[in-house]
A = this chain, B = another copy of it.
């Protein structure tokens, strides 16, 4: 599951995609409503949604001619696990640095 971490982080590397995710925090939205919130065209949003879906950060449900997108709990959670590991190791690193001031001879 962590193999998608790369895709997910890359997906987060774009401001518009982050905006899409934040917009979906308030609940599912169809593509049109989503596109209205951003200064780019609807196809652009569609392409971003494809990237986000490929990274397992969003899912869609077809409702008639509409595509309602929502956050993907699994992907979000796997991303959380990735960061949790990072925080844990980072804290360990900081702690170690404090305990071992500068006893390096090289």
Contact = CB atoms under 8 A, between A and B. Distances in A.
A78 to B, nearest CB: 12
Contact of A97 (B28, B76, B86): B28
A28 to B, nearest CB: 7
Interface in A55-88: 70-71, 73, 76, 80, 83, 86-87
For this chain, the copies found in one complex come to 2
A71 B94 contact: yes
Contacts of A87: 76, 80
Contacts of A83: 80, 83
Contacts of A41: none
Interface of A: 6, 9-10, 12-15, 18, 21-22, 24-28, 70-71, 73, 76, 80, 83, 86-87, 89-90, 93-94, 96-97
